[in-house]
Amino acid sequence: MVDVRDAAKVLAEARRVVVLTGAGISAESGVPTFRDSLTGLWERYDAQALATPQAFDDDPDLVWGWYEWRRCLIERVRPNPGHEAVAAIEARAPHTVVVTQNVDDLHERAGSAAPIHLHGSLFTPRCATCSRPAAVTACDEPEEGRRLAPPRCGQCAGPIRPGVVWFGEALSEEALETAVQEATECDVLLTVGTSGLVYPAAEIPRVAAMFGGTVIQVNPQPTPLDATAAINLHGSAATVLPALVK
Ligand code: BV8
Ligand code: ZN
């Protein structure tokens, strides 16, 4: 059994670190994950009806309202000790890259300099027609399940869409290439709070392992990445990560 102190030593000796995060790191801030039973968003909502380009074409008010609810919820919560520990790793290791699947801004607010957002961000809306960036509006009381007509583009009057990557859409080539390149070169890849079910993000720890990096996983539950990780730490991000940087 490898305990958290052994893992902390491996991490402290690493020169190049990639931290890959998923929804689990924000769970203890009060942001719902996607696939956890009972609390996950996909328990209550149909991903196909909300997180695809087809869904936005079919019912833009439903989709825009749902994403505005999520953005406004995130504006009201704070980073937790897990996000803070990631920023501490970044401040300590000579070369750290934070790669997140999350569309929230909690890594930035905890002090991470420039996390790579593989699946985009709730804070970078753009025109669905001409891609022109649009302004983020102020949140009043966020209401779950409220339909909301998307604002219109100042340039072409097209509907504004959330700046996230939906199922069936390509990830930013630059973001993915950088993440994969860093994974090939890292000494340690720390994967935190991801179910490892969404591709191509789920390949990143496997790339690191294939190129000789040590994969450390932090998750309270088993995942398909258990077999890839040399070290599996079963616990929550806000408790395990601070112990890793002690
Ligand atoms: C693409 C943004 C090609 C929007 C998201 C069949 C097989 C293989 C692949 C596919 C397939 N069919 C389709 C595909 C491709 C598809 C895919 O992977 N599907 C899967 C689901 C089968 N992928 C895509 O479509 C991607 N694009 O492939 O493009 C292409 C190429 C060229 C041209 C055109 C197209 C795009 C995928 C992006 C989807 N967007 N989100 C939004 O937020 O609404 S996905 C969604 O899942 C999330 O946003 C998140 O980013 C991602 C991963 O989820 P997790 O972060 O892992 O969260 P999850 O809830 O699953 O797990 C939480 C974990 O935390 C759990 O393990 C839990 O135990 C743990 N946890 C809980 N509490 C804590 C904790 N851990 C620590 N501490 C705690 N306290
Ligand atoms: Zn436009």
- Residues 70, 143: Cα–Cα separation, whole Å: 9
Residues 89 and 194 in one domain: yes
Q: Whose Cα sits closest to atom 45 in ligand 1?
A: 198
Q: From ligand 1's centre to the CA of 197, what distance in Å?
A: 6
Q: Whose Cα sits closest to atom 44 in ligand 1?
A: 51
Residues 146 and 206 in one domain: no
Q: From ligand 1's centre to the CA of 9, what distance in Å?
A: 30
- Residues 178, 26: Cα–Cα separation, whole Å: 23
Among 83, 117, 119, 234, the active-site one is 119
CATH number at residue 91: 3.40.50.1220
Dihedral pair phi/psi, residue 15, rounded to 5°: -90, -40
Residues 154 and 230 in one domain: no
Last residue within a domain, chosen from 94, 129, 164: 164
Q: Is 102 a known ligand-binding residue?
A: yes
CATH number at residue 69: 3.30.1600.10
3-state secondary structure of 222: coil
Q: Which ligand is nearest to the CA of 48?
A: 1
- Alpha carbon of 148 to those of 34, 57, 130, 144, 161: distances in Å? 22, 14, 21, 11, 12
> 142 lies in which domain range?
32-76+120-164
Q: Whose Cα sits closest to atom 56 in ligand 1?
A: 22
Q: Whose Cα sits closest to atom 33 in ligand 1?
A: 170
Residues 174 and 211 in one domain: yes
- Alpha carbon of 188 to those of 38, 70, 113, 206, 220: distances in Å? 33, 32, 19, 12, 20
Q: Is 159 a known ligand-binding residue?
A: no
3-state secondary structure of 82: helix
Evaluate the CA torsion angle 228, 210, 33, 76 in order and state its sign.
positive
How many domains, in total, are found in the chain?
A: 2
Atom of ligand 1 nearest to the CA of 122: 43
Q: From ligand 1's centre to the CA of 58, what distance in Å?
A: 22
Residues 112 and 183 in one domain: yes
The DSSP 8-state label assigned to residue 5 in this structure reads H
Residues 228 and 115 in one domain: yes
Residues linked to residue 188 through DSSP beta bridges, in sequence order: 17, 214
- ipTM associated with this complex: 0.96
Last residue within a domain, chosen from 111, 137, 164: 164
Residues 70 and 180 in one domain: no
Last residue within a domain, chosen from 136, 164, 192: 164
Residues 159 and 39 in one domain: yes
Q: Is 221 a known ligand-binding residue?
A: yes
pLDDT tens, the chain, 246 aa long:
678 999 999 999 999 999 999 999 999 999 999 999 888 999 888 988 899 999 999 999 999 999 999 999 999 999 999 999 999 999 998 899 999 999 999 999 999 999 999 999 999 999 999 999 999 988 977 678 889 999 999 999 999 999 999 999 999 999 999 999 999 999 999 999 999 999 999 999 999 999 999 999 999 999 999 999 999 999 999 999 999 998
Tell me how crowded residue 154 is: count the other CB atoms within 10 A of its CB: 11
Residues 238 and 182 in one domain: yes
Residues 23 and 126 in one domain: no
Residues linked to residue 159 through DSSP beta bridges, in sequence order: 152
Q: From ligand 1's centre to the CA of 147, what distance in Å?
A: 24
Q: Is 119 in the active site?
A: yes
Residues 148 and 225 in one domain: no
Residues 146 and 197 in one domain: no
| Residue where the block lists tokens 């077999």 | 227
Total residue count of the chain as it appears in this document: 246
Evaluate the CA torsion angle 160, 161, 163, 169 in order and state its sign.
negative
- Residues 54, 57: Cα–Cα separation, whole Å: 5
**With 0-12 CB in 10 A as exposed, 13-18 as middle and 19+ as buried, what is 212?**
exposed
Atom of ligand 1 nearest to the CA of 82: 78
